Every structure is written in structure tokens, then in C-alpha cells.
Structure 1
Amino acid sequence: MRSLLLWYRFLAAIEVQWDQAERRDVRDFVLWLRVAENPQRRARRRDGTAPGAVNPITGKRTLGSGYAASTVNHALTSMKMFYEYHLLTGLGPVVNPVPEQAGRGPDRPGSHRSPMEPAPRLRRAPYRQHSARRQPRALPNELFNDFFTALPSNRDRAIVALGVSSGPRATELLAMRLEQVDVGRQVVLLETKGRRELEEVPASPDAFLWLAAYLAETEDWRPAGDTRIWWTLRRPVRPMTYSALRQVLNRANEQLGGANITFHDLRHTYCMRMLDDPNLLITDVQRLMRHASILSTQIYSRARIDDLVRKMQDHYNRPAPPEPTTAPGYDPADMSVLFPGLT
């Protein structure tokens, strides 16, 4: 909806009706997104951090000042589906102004191929932006321990413990209710993105202990009959929103000296920890992460730079193997004939 809102505001600025938009208008819209400043990102940089700067604690780059390439592509996808719907209903223009990617569609080459054949490499559709491949944002154990220690309340500790031991998305966590917690089986039910189905996901015993401590504290003032779990600690109590959740993490980031840890980093950390466990297959991790495709899980299997640095340090510090010598009982003269250069 936000992408379509941007599109409608752009059309209003250039005085073009939505059903009269042409391909050149889409081109101008993309060009504007590439140079415009994102107001949401400006609001997040109140600490004076430069756009795109590397955080010295987490090693992550801060968000840039403009719209990301993935945001531009998402907007084009939303606009394309919007106009396709109105083409089917006959309420919109005759031609979709958003260009199609070459090689797509049921009647085009590569649409009916065997899954054993390699996928054809197709050029990006016009106006689509090249998105850099993102690296997993898993937190090292030392940094996570410091972050968890900086949390001030049992509610915040329960949120982070569930986030790092069951991998929920922020919307899935905030929508949790008491009936979705099964303490006996050590699982929680999460409403999966897209399908809107409740799926069981195991969580750690520590997460249930922190959750029990938080629920015991809120038993007296939690609204009667309302089974939502997460509430604000300030009076009057209100259900937690995404903005409130982000403030919880920001306060802990400030305690660490200006870190930029987000809630989705906990999901990345959860996935990387599962992949490092030799007892879990990648298909098990796919099920735990609730990925529709195993390709989404394989993104997390790439080596992290922290792991590579540690392995290279071990490599450089490893002592050199000893030089081969002649075993006792052999004549050195005979060995030098059989193996020249052996001392």
C-alpha cells in the first residue's frame, strides 16, 4: 500500500490520472525514487549518524538517505500487479504501463522447463534496479550476551529470548496470544507471513522462563479477557506496536554505546545457529524458519566474515609441521638414495 501511495502522490504532482499513466511516467517515477530522500530514514537518524556509515559495534551499515534498490523494485512489482488487476476487471488502461521482464510469461521461452535443467539467466526488466546480495546479520555470541544484559525488564528479555530461540518476525511476535503458547511441549504457535496459518515452532526453556516471569508481573494489571501477550509497561497500558518494539531495542543499543541491532537480526542469528548445529539438516532449518523455498534458507549458509577471520587467525597461528626425519634403525645413507633430500 505504501508503494501505491507513493505512485499516486507522484501522479498527483505531475497531474496525471492513474488510468492514463504511460511507460514514460513509470520511468520518471523510478528516476525520482533514485534521487529522492526517504523521510522515514531521516527520522531514524536522529543520533546524527551519517547515512551508510559502518557501525563500529555490529559492523552493519546504517541505512542510506534515499530509497533502496529493493524498495524501488517492490514498488514496481506492486504497481504492475495493481494494473494487471484492473486490466482483468476492465476498469483500467488497455496496456500495463509497467514493463514486463523478457522471458517471463506462459508463452515465452523458459517458462516450461524441466527442474533438472539450469534456470535461464534473464535480463532485468526495464527500470528494475540491481540489488546487492545481502549478508546474513547474525550476532556473535559475545555481542548478543552484552545486548541481552542491557535489557531492563523481564518483558524485554522474554521478547529477545523468544526472538533468538524461535525466529519469529516482528509482526508474528506482536500478534502472539496466550493460547498460542504451549509450555508443556515447549512450542509456540506463530502466524506465518503470507499463508496466515498457525505453525508450531519450538523455543528454548529459557525463553519460557522469562515469559513466565513477565506474565506473573502483569497478572494484576493486564486487561481481563484480553489474551494478547505483549503490553506496554507504562500506564495506561496499551498493546505493543512495532514502534514500541523498536524503542525497546534502541534503548539496549544505547546502553551498548550506539549499536544498531534490529529485531530481524535475532531471526538471522537463530537461523545461523541452527545451521551450525551438525545434528540439524538444512531441511530442518527450512521448517524451523518456515521458508516456502529452501533457496531462502541457503542464503544463510554462506560463511560469515567473523567466522572467516577466526579461521584465518587459527591458520596463521598454527605451528608448521615438523620436518621429516629418518626413523631409528635405518641407515641414513640408504635413505638418502631412496629419498633424496630426506635428512
Structure 2
Amino acid sequence: MQQCDIDPGQQLITLVRKGTRAKQPVPESADAFVWLRLHQEEMHGEVPRGRTQPVWWTLRRPRRPLNYPAAHRMFARANAAVGSDWTLHDLRHSAAARIARDPQLMLSDVQLVLGHAHLSTTEIYLTPDKDEVIAGVLALHARIAEQREKLVPPPPSPGYDPQALSVLFGRML
């Protein structure tokens, strides 16, 4: 990715698709551009400037463009330090799962962002994991209980003593 592929004003980055080699602008979060700006500031004066220069640079000296093999090695070192086995593709998978589950986005939108030729490939990201299902159902139960607490019982029919009904039936719903 080169500097000319970044458009912070529109929150877009232009990618080169792996299969077709076609260039495609895709939206990015504002946070991504904040991290990019912090990286640029850290590299200021240490790397060449210009629209055709790489966006990301290694932190180790001598500074080199952060290409796929360098990023892969960076992940290997981080995994060794923390005892994990994450990959660059795991980052893509996590982001894809997050945006695929957003109710405001159509799955075909997600397909376009991910560059999938077939919608069925994108559908893989709709499968929730067990912990997400449990958390979602527990949140549903909490919302139902909260709504139940907000219900105001209707007044008893004329002639009935509310306190007597409370003794007879317990708390009036």
C-alpha cells in the first residue's frame, strides 16, 4: 500500500485485490486513520516521503517497508512472547465477522468489502460462536426482566381493596 492509496478525508483506503489485482477503495474506521497518523509521526524524518512511498514501515532498524513477510515475522515474535498463534488472516476473519453481524449492513455490502466472488463465502462469517449466543440470550433475558419491572399494574376494579388483593395474590402485576 502506498501513501496515495490513503484518503483520510473520505475514510477510504485503496486495496489491490489478491485474485483480480483490481484496485478497490474500501471504508476504514476513524481509529485506523488515527493509528496511521501516529505511525507516520513516529516515522517522520526516518523514512522517505512521497505519494508512491509505502504506508507502513518496520519499527526495527534499518527501516524497511512493512510487507507481508515482515508482518508475518512480527506476528510470529508477538505470538512467541504471549503464547498465542494468531495470524494476519485471523485479523481479517475477526473484522469480517464483526461487520457481517452488523444489522445495518447488507451481506452483499460485506461481500464487496471483503472481495468475495460468491455470497456463500461471506455467509461463513454469520455463524456466531457459543459465547456470543450465550451472551446474546442472557442480554435478551435481562431486557425482558427490565421491561417487566417497568410495567405499571392496572388499578383494581372498584370495590376491591388493593391491600387485601396484595395479601391474597402477592405483588400485583
> Fold conserved (TM > 0.5)?
yes
Go from structure 1 to structure 2 and tell me whether the alpha carbon gap of 1:270 and 1:254 turns closer, same or farther (over 3 Å shift): same
Q: Which residue of 2 aligns with 1:293?
A: 118
Q: Distance in 1 between matches of 2:49 and 2:2?
A: 13
Q: Which residue of 2 aligns with 1:263?
A: 88
Q: Which residue of 2 aligns with 1:196?
A: 21
Q: Give runs of aligned pairs for residues 1-343 of structure 1, distance below 5 A.
A: 176-223=1-48, 227-254=53-80, 257-311=82-136
Calculate percent identity across the aligned residue pairs.
37
SS of equivalent residue, structure 1 residue 189: strand
Go from structure 1 to structure 2 and tell me whether the alpha carbon gap of 1:216 and 1:314 turns closer, same or farther (over 3 Å shift): closer
Gaps of 5+ in 1: 1-175, 322-326, 330-343
Give 1:315 shift: 8.1
Q: Deviations over 1:9-55 (max 9, x none)?
A: xxxxxxxxxxxxxxxxxxxxxxxxxxxxxxxxxxxxxxxxxxxxxxx
Q: Distance in 2 between matches of 1:291 and 1:279?
A: 20
Q: TM-score, normalised by structure 1?
A: 0.38
Q: Distance in 1 between matches of 2:156 and 2:55?
A: 74
Q: Distance in 2 between matches of 1:286 and 1:217?
A: 34
Go from structure 1 to structure 2 and tell me whether the alpha carbon gap of 1:179 and 1:224 turns closer, same or farther (over 3 Å shift): closer
Please tell me the residue identity of whatever aligns with 2:128: A
Q: Distance in 2 between matches of 1:277 and 1:189?
A: 23
Q: Deviations over 1:228-261 (max 9, x none)?
A: 1222222222222333212323444455x41222
Go from structure 1 to structure 2 and tell me whether the alpha carbon gap of 1:315 and 1:231 turns closer, same or farther (over 3 Å shift): closer
Go from structure 1 to structure 2 and tell me whether the alpha carbon gap of 1:178 and 1:315 turns closer, same or farther (over 3 Å shift): closer
Gaps of 5+ in 2: 149-154, 158-173
SS of equivalent residue, structure 1 residue 272: helix
Q: TM-score, normalised by structure 2?
A: 0.72
Q: Which residue of 1 aligns with 2:160?
A: none
Q: Deviations over 1:55-94 (max 9, x none)?
A: xxxxxxxxxxxxxxxxxxxxxxxxxxxxxxxxxxxxxxxx
Computed over aligned residues only, the root mean square deviation of the Cα atoms, in angstroms, reads 2.7
Q: Which residue of 2 aligns with 1:11?
A: none
